Amino acid sequence: MPYLREVFPKAEIVGCDPSAESLAIARRDNPTCRFMSMDELGSEAKFDLVIASCVFHHIPPQDRQMAIRYCYSRLKQGGHFIIFEHNPIIPVTRHLVKIVHSTPTRCC
* Helix, strand or coil, per DSSP, at residue 81: strand
Q: Is 50 domain-assigned?
A: yes
The amino acid at 34? R
Separation of alpha carbons 69 and 93, rounded Å: 20
The answer to the question of residue 40 being in a domain is yes
**pTM score of the predicted model:** 0.73
* Residue-level pLDDT, tens digit, the chain, 108 residues: 999 999 999 999 999 998 999 999 999 999 999 999 988 988 889 999 999 988 888 889 999 999 999 999 999 999 999 998 776 777 877 776 676 556 554 443
The answer to whether residue 57 is domain-embedded is yes
> Which DSSP category does 61 fall into?
G
- 108 within some domain: no
Tally of structural domains, the chain: 1
CATH number assigned to the domain comprising residue 48: 3.40.50.150
Domain residue limits at 86: 2-102
Residue 59 in any domain: the answer is: yes
Instruction: Look up residue 35 and give its amino acid.
Output: F
Helix (H, G, I), strand (E, B) or coil at 68: helix
Q: How far apart are CA 24 and CA 35, in angstroms?
A: 8
